[in-house]
Amino acid sequence: MQAMVTASKITELLNAASDGDATAQDAAYALVYDELKRCARRQSALAQGSSLSPTALVSELYLKLRAGQVDHIENRRHFFALAARAMRQITIDHARHRTRAKRGGGAEHLEINTRDLGASTAEQTLELDAALTSLSLRDADLGQLVEWHFFAGLTFQDIADELGRHERTVRHDWELARAYLRQAMDVGHPT
Amino acid sequence: MNVAARWLRTKDLFRECQLLREGERDAWLAAQCADDAVLLGEVRALLSAQRASYDILDGGAMGVLKRMRIDESAPDLIGQRIGAYRLLRLLGEGGMGSVYLAEREDGDFVQRVALKRVRADFVSAETRARFLRERNFLARLTHPHIAQLHDGGVADDGTPYFTLEYVEGTPITRYCDTHKLDVRGRLRLALQVCAAVTYAHRNLIVHRDLKPSNILVTADGETKLLDFGIAKLVDAEQSHGRTATQSRMMTPEYAAPEQVLGEPITTATDVYAIGVLVYEMLSGRLPYARADAGAVSWAKAVIEEAPESLRGALSRPAPADSVPAAADGPAATRGTTLPALRRRLRGDLDRIVQRALAKEPEARYPSVEALADDLRAVIDDRAISGGSRRYRLRKFVHRHWLPLAATAAILLTLIASGAAVVWQARQTAHEARTTLAVKDFLFGLFTAVDPHEAKGREVSAHELLDRGAQRIERDRSLDNGQRAEIESTLGRIYYQLGLFDQANTLQDHAIRALSENREHALLRLQTEAERADTLVERGDLKTAAALAAEASGNADALAGVSADKRAQLLHTQGHVALAQRDFVAAKRFSDAELALVRDARVAPAVLFNALSMAGSAHWGLSDYDGAEAQFREALAVASHDAAPDDMNVARAQANMGLILQAKSRFAQAQAMYEAVLATYQKVLGPDHPSTLAMHRDLGLSYYHQGLYAQARTTLEQVLAAQRVKFGNEHPALAGTEINLGLVLTDSGDLPAADRVLGEALGIFEKKYGRDYQGATIALGDIAVVHMLRGDLDRAAAELSEVMQRQNKPDAIDPDGFATFYRLGEVKRRLAQAAAAVELERKALIGAQKVRGESSRYTAMAHHLLALSLRDAGDEAGAEHELRAALASYASYIPQAEHPLAATVRYDLALLLLPRAADRAEALRLLTEAVALREKFLGVDDARTQAARAPLNKANASAKA
């Protein structure tokens, strides 16, 4: 229900944005961000898999946009970019919060230091963010692919359709992007 | 190929490989990249990264959020069963797995264990392998002080787990404090740890992560070693270059230098960690005061700082978060008083921890057992083992571009001091007689030259000396003291002629003879000091140091040693320390020497020598202001009443030039060098090695001012003269070639640069081996040429080699930070922006520390950091650093008129150009860049044209 309302609102804003209303885009971003965040929170509060996941939300919103009035390529892409950016922000914020909490926490009473058990997901997430920034600079297309697939949760088929390319090509590009990120996150390796 | 084109090609090749079978890829790729090894390397690296699993990349953003949630609370497993165990509570958790307290019911018997498992989801092959390795390690270890492995298995969901003896205990440091153990009690606990680690080492396992939280003490007072999570087999794997995973897992406070630097890990790594542990158990603090206070990072302190003495640690202010028991003060928790504790920790215990904490693994105890032996000796009040080498703080003290010129200048200082040995001891009647006998003897040498034998040619001093050395053995008219004095004198002359083998033989002989007779104690001291100087020249620094120290000790024991004699002994010790590059010690000696000679009325030459050495010591410690003050005073002393072309004046000027160069005041340095060169040419002749070296330094000062053409001409002249004089394989040539290589590199003639640097490397390598400092410098410079020619992998490999050598214990680290920024630049060009930023930041910190803000090195570090920030997407940061670079150049070159500063302007302009608000500034910068490049590089130079292009374009679009 909520998603429906949001979808139409987003549609409206995106249309306004494409007509040159600069504030509309910010508003659309804020809306997507809030919706995704609420969704992510709701999901972590409930048992695994029982609620609508943010990525599912993105595809739902997307379907509505596609079926609806804004079948304008520019706007759809805008939306993906928006959704991906929002999701990336949510993930990174969460990771930052986590690493800060961990640093500040008193480890004095712990019999076993958490450090022994490997870098936390949060730390790896921050590394991923930095690696993605560097990838986007090197190759904007691959950066976009990672944002759409990894953060916005679009399938390779979705992306292939959207870009008018072969699914296999998109898959290969993903492999390359992933390999690049993997390499960039291994900063300690001498070449 | 530029970066963008290379990436497109990489992308294509990678895609095409996807269509091939794994087995076919390599051969196909090799064929495609036949002439481009860098490209081949790049694609291969990506293909291998593709094969590697990386949990986090495979679950999408939702997966990441989910995993973070699991990190936050993994309560869902409490109460559940894994194998035969029921989980009771979480003991610890992290990104890879968790440790639970679990119990197993076996009839009436309830067994409690610690159960370690990897997470149910997102288990990568690597994580699993690491986990299983720990299990295998533990299976090999059965020791009363190591937590015992019980069993392992696979849970229902397929994840592996194992169980360990559950240790109910307290971290060892806290146990010591809460039980108020005295020093002996603490050492006994440390011995238990040593026993456990020794046992592991015998089983070829290095723990790598020893620290209080991994060493618990049970209520019975038994220590238990936990967590072999990052342990490794000794030599089982090539551990050079740590993985990102390992680096994240290190605990910086307890990590050894080699762990921080990514060097090979051996059992010595555990020796170091036990050193930290013992230090903390004894003093209540960690070894590095500045890191403890938060002034520097632990990693930095581990590499660069000397551990504070245990007593020093006792007087640090109490940490804010100290546990209640420890807050009573370290003395109270050790059942003693502060003065008594201070006394207890002085001496042997301090020596033991310092040795265990040596930066170089080889300088530590050879084994944990050896360390334990010394701890035991302290408990039993026995003497500890000898052999504790004093650790010398390794510092990035050397200038990069000028190491050879610098060495030459130091040598000059030292030769000057050797030549001016001034003895003004009050002579006793006996000494007067001896002196007379010596004079007679020497006079006899000259008069005994047979004119027929000499046949009209001049008899060289060398021949006379040899004659004297032969004669003295036969001359029965001399008593032992007189004979020794003559030997000593002849030794000194041989020394001044540079005939060190002969000097050594005579001096050694004289010392032996003199040691039998207390009457000659003073002469013996003098000869010992002189022989130490000789040994330095022969390269036997160890014996030289021992001898100088012995002489100094003997002087202390002797009443009535005059001030200038003591000053000379200090000078010799300083000389040895300088040769050992132990500048801290050299400064100590020269400070003491200066205090003496300023107090006593001594000849100006003695003061001059003392000041020159003090300057060199400050220079070595990178205290350029201090060095300048000393050299300036030396110059004033030498200039007082000096005749024209006085050599001491010239030497002092050369030293001043050195310091001005180090302070990036190149125009002033140039003026100094020109003055010195004029004197040398007159006094020594145009082809004298010192003249040539000075000429070379002058060329270098042209280079530093961006006057590449002048620098090239000068250096090529010097090189040609050196070839004539020394032939093609002399190290002096290599020194000039390194400098010429820099000029050629910066003026863009890369093939020529490659050639001369290659020749320099060849000379050094052949003469002194590849480990020699000069060879390392040449290699670093060659790497830059290769980088600029696009051979990035090769450059990276060469720089890694350089870095590795600079990290060796006996290396001098002439250009530590320069290697960082060079490697950073290679990484940037390899599109590894994050890695590049990290390296450049390190380089900048190093450059600022050693050089200060106002220097070409710091400017360059700012510039390179800016480029990598830009590539990493941080435009604001890049802009900030570019402005800092420009300010740094401007602070020592008026208006920053230098080709390197032109490049900074160019890069900054391109960054600003797209922004409407900054367009005017961008155009101004571009205009300046073009003007500077025209001036320094020429109107037609490709780089000048490159700067002109965007300017023309912008101007054209402005018109349109």
Chosen from B40, B72, B216 to mutate, greatest number of chain A CBs within 10 A = B72
Check CB contact of A187 with chain B, cutoff 8 Å: yes
**CA–CA separation, B142 and B161 (whole Å):** 19
CA quadruple B737, B743, B745, B751: dihedral sign: negative
- Nearest neighbour of A117 by CB, restricted to B65, B95, B834: B95
Helix (H, G, I), strand (E, B) or coil at B102: strand
Q: H or E segment at B160?
A: strand B160-165
**Given CB atoms, is B867 within the 8 Å cutoff of chain A?**
no
B765 in Cβ contact with B775 (< 8 Å): yes
Nearest of B196, B189, B144 to residue B171 by alpha carbon: B189
Whole-structure pTM value = 0.43
User: Contacts of residue A90 in chain B, CB cutoff 8 Å?
Assistant: 61, 65
B272, B317 in Cβ contact below 8 A? no
Query: Which of B209, B835, B873 lies nearest to residue A137, judging by beta carbons?
Result: B873
**Min CA distance, B683 vs chain A (Å)?**
52
- In chain B, what residues touch A172 (CB-CB under 8 Å)? 14-15, 18
**What is the reported pLDDT for B451?**
44
CA–CA gap between residue A128 and residue B834 (Å, rounded): 11
Residue B867 is encoded by which pair of tokens?
């480029």
A121 touches chain B (CB under 8 A): yes
The 3-state DSSP class for residue B296 equals coil
- Interchain CB contact of A55 with B (< 8 Å): yes
B413 CB-contact burial (10 Å; exposed 0-12 / middle 13-18 / buried 19+): buried
Judged on CB neighbours under 10 Å (0-12, 13-18, 19+), A9 is middle
Q: Which of chain A's residues have a Cβ under 8 Å away from the Cβ of B327?
A: none
Q: Residue ranges of the alpha helices (H) in B358-499?
A: 368-379, 403-419, 429-447, 451-454, 461-474, 480-496
DSSP for residue B77 = G
How far B112 CA lies from chain A's nearest CA (Å)? 15
Give the 3-state secondary structure of residue B390.
coil
Could you tell me if B90 lies within 8 Å of chain A, comparing CB atoms? no
Instruction: Say whether A117 and B323 touch across the interface (CB within 8 A).
Output: no
Nearest CA in chain A to B38: A191
For residue B319, give the DSSP letter. Answer: P
User: Residue B95 is nearest to which of A124, A128, A139, comparing CB atoms?
Assistant: A124
* Residue to test with chain A: of B165, B238, B830, B832, most A Cβ within 10 A: B832
The pLDDT score that the predictor gives to residue B437 is 62
* B97 phi/psi in degrees, rounded to 5: -170, -170
Contact B417, B575 (CB under 8 A): yes
For B890-921, the DSSP string reads: HTTSGGG-SHHHHHHHHHHHHHHTTSGGGHHH
The answer, for A158 touching chain B at a CB cutoff of 8 Å, is no
Q: Which residues of B touch A88 (CB under 8 A)?
A: 61
Strand partners, B162: B116, B152
Interface of B with A in 280-339 (CB under 8 A): 323
B57 to A139: CB separation less than 8 angstroms, yes or no: no
**Cα→Cα distances B333→B184, B311, B328, B330, B611, Å:** 13, 16, 7, 5, 49
Residues 6+ apart with CB under 8 A from B26: B44
Closest partner residue to A125 among B64, B827, B833, by Cβ? B64
Helix or strand or coil: residue B747? Answer: coil
- Per-residue pLDDT tens over the stretch B537-583: 777 788 898 999 888 888 877 777 777 788 888 999 998 888 777 88
The partner residue sitting opposite B68, judged by closest CB among A122, A187, A189, is A122
How many CB pairs lie under 8 A apart between chains A and B?
211
Of residues B703, B688, B771, B787, the one with CA closest to residue B738: B703
Task: Kindly report, residue by residue over A84-119, the tens digit of the pLDDT.
Answer: 887 888 888 877 776 665 443 323 223 333 333 445
Q: Do B61 and A189 touch (CB under 8 A)?
A: no
Is the CB of B37 inside 8 Å of chain A's CB atoms?
Answer: no
At A2 the pLDDT is 52
Q: Which two tokens stand for residue A92?
A: 């990174």
B3-18 vs B37-51: helix axis angle to the nearest 10?
50
The verdict on a CB contact (< 8 Å) between B50 and A178 is yes
Strand pairing category for B149-154 and B205-206? unpaired
B605 touches chain A (CB under 8 A): no
Which residue among B69, B94, B209 places its CB closest to the CB of A118?
Answer: B94
Interface list for A 2-31 with B (CB within 8 A):
none
- Token pair in block for residue B108: 């009436």
Identify the pLDDT of residue B439: 60
Other CB atoms closer than 10 Å to residue B346's CB: what's the count?
A: 13
Kindly list the residues from chain B whose CB atom is less than 8 angstroms away from the CB atom of residue A44. Answer: 65-66, 69
Q: Coil, helix or strand for B112?
A: strand
User: Is B8 in CB contact (< 8 Å) with chain A?
Assistant: no
Residues on chain A touching B216 (C-beta within 8 angstroms): 111
Question: Is B209 an active-site residue?
Answer: yes
Cβ neighbors of B538 (< 8 A, separation 6 or more) are B500, B501, B504
Using the Cβ of B243 and the Cβ atoms of chain A, whether some distance falls under 8 Å is answered with: yes
Inter-chain CB proximity B871 and A117 less than 8 Å:
no
3-class SS of residue B163:
strand
Residues in B touching A86 (Cβ below 8 Å): none
Indicate the residue type of B624.
Y
B796–A contact, CB cutoff 8 A: yes
Report residue B212: phi and psi, to 5°: -55, -40
Q: Is A174 on the interface with B (CB under 8 A)?
A: no
Annotated active-site residue in B55, B106, B151, B209: B209
Q: Which residues 45-74 of B are in CB contact (within 8 Å) with A?
A: 45-47, 49-50, 52, 54, 56-57, 60-62, 64-69, 71-72
CA B183 distance to own-chain centroid: 35
Q: What HEC string does B227-259 produce?
A: CCCCCEECCCCCCCCCCHHHHHHCCCCCCCHHH
pLDDT score of B602 = 73
CA dihedral B678, B680, B686, B691 (to 10 degrees): -110
- Chain A residues within an 8 Å CB radius of B827: 191
| Contact residues, B window 199-218, toward A, CB-based 8 Å cutoff | 209, 211, 213-214, 216
Other CB atoms within 10 A of residue B328 CB: 14
What is chain A's Cα-based Rg? Answer: 19
**Residue ranges in chain B whose pLDDT is less than 50:** 75, 95, 236-249, 321-327, 387-432, 449-458, 810-812, 814
Residues in B touching A122 (Cβ below 8 Å) = 68, 71
User: Which residues between 119 and 138 in chain B have a beta carbon less than 8 angstroms from any beta carbon of chain A?
Assistant: 127
Nearest residue on chain A to B228, alpha-carbon basis: A116
Per-residue pLDDT of chain A (191 residues; tens, 9 = 90+): 455 556 667 767 767 766 766 677 677 777 777 777 766 665 554 434 434 455 566 666 655 555 555 555 566 677 777 778 878 888 888 777 766 654 433 232 233 333 334 456 777 788 888 889 889 988 999 999 999 888 887 888 888 988 888 988 899 899 999 988 887 775 432 22
What would the two tokens of residue B811 be?
């290396």
Distance from CA of B796 to the nearest CA of A (A): 7
User: Is residue A166 within 8 angstroms of chain B, CB to CB?
Assistant: no
Write the pLDDT tens digit of every residue in A17-34: 667 666 776 777 777 777
- Tell me, what's the pLDDT at B811? 42
